[in-house]
Amino acid sequence: MDIIDLDNLKYFEDLQSQMEKMIKDIRAMGSINVSCDRVWKPLVDIYETVDNIVVLVDIAGIKKEDIQIVFNKDLLIISGKRINPTQLVPRQKMHQVEIDFGYFERVIKLTIPIQDDKIVASYKDGFLWIHLPKQNVPVSRKVEILTE
C-alpha cells in the first residue's frame, strides 16, 4: 500500500484551486486579444505511387503567394503564414477557438532519392499537392566476380 504524502497532496489541491480560479477569471474577461508567434503545423498526408512521393497539405485560407516550398537534399520544407480574417472584426466574446493562424512550417525528411529538378506543386481548394518524382535507383543487381 502506498503512503500518501500529505504535504504533496495539499500542494496539488492548492494548485488545482489556483488553476480553476485562473480559468474562471479568463472566462470572465470575455474576449482576449492574444498575440503569439508560435509556429503551427498543418495536417499532412504522405503516400507513395509507382513514380512519386506525394505530399498533401491541408492549408485552407492561405494565398498561394504566402506559401514557400524548399527541397534541400532529403528535406522538404513547407512554410508560410495564414492571416486571421477576423482580426479586424470587433468581438465581444469568443465561444470556440480552434483554427490556427500565423506562421506555419512542416519539415519532412524523405528517405527515398528524389529527382529534385522535376518536383511539381499545385494548390486547389485549400490543399497543397506536392509531387516528388522518385529517382530510378536500382534496388538490386547481379555483381560479377572478376578473376585475378
Please give the grid coordinates belonging to residue 63: 494565398
Angle among Cα 71, 72, 77 to the nearest 5 degrees reads 50
What whole-number distance in Å separates Cα of residue 55 and Cα of residue 77? 11
Topology of domain 44-133 in CATH is: Immunoglobulin-like (2.60.40)
DSSP-derived 3-state class of residue 125: coil
Strand-by-strand arrangement of the 120-124 sheet: 44-48, 52-58, 127-133, 120-124
DSSP-derived 3-state class of residue 110: coil
Asked if 54 contacts 47 with a C-beta cutoff of 8 angstroms, the reply is yes
pLDDT at 79: 95
Residue 34: which pLDDT band, with cuts at 50, 70 and 90?
very low
pLDDT at 9: 64
Please give the grid coordinates belonging to residue 115: 529527382
Position with higher pLDDT, 22 vs 27 = 22
Mean pLDDT, residues 123-144 = 87
In degrees and rounded to multiples of 5, residue 14 shows phi and psi of -65, -40
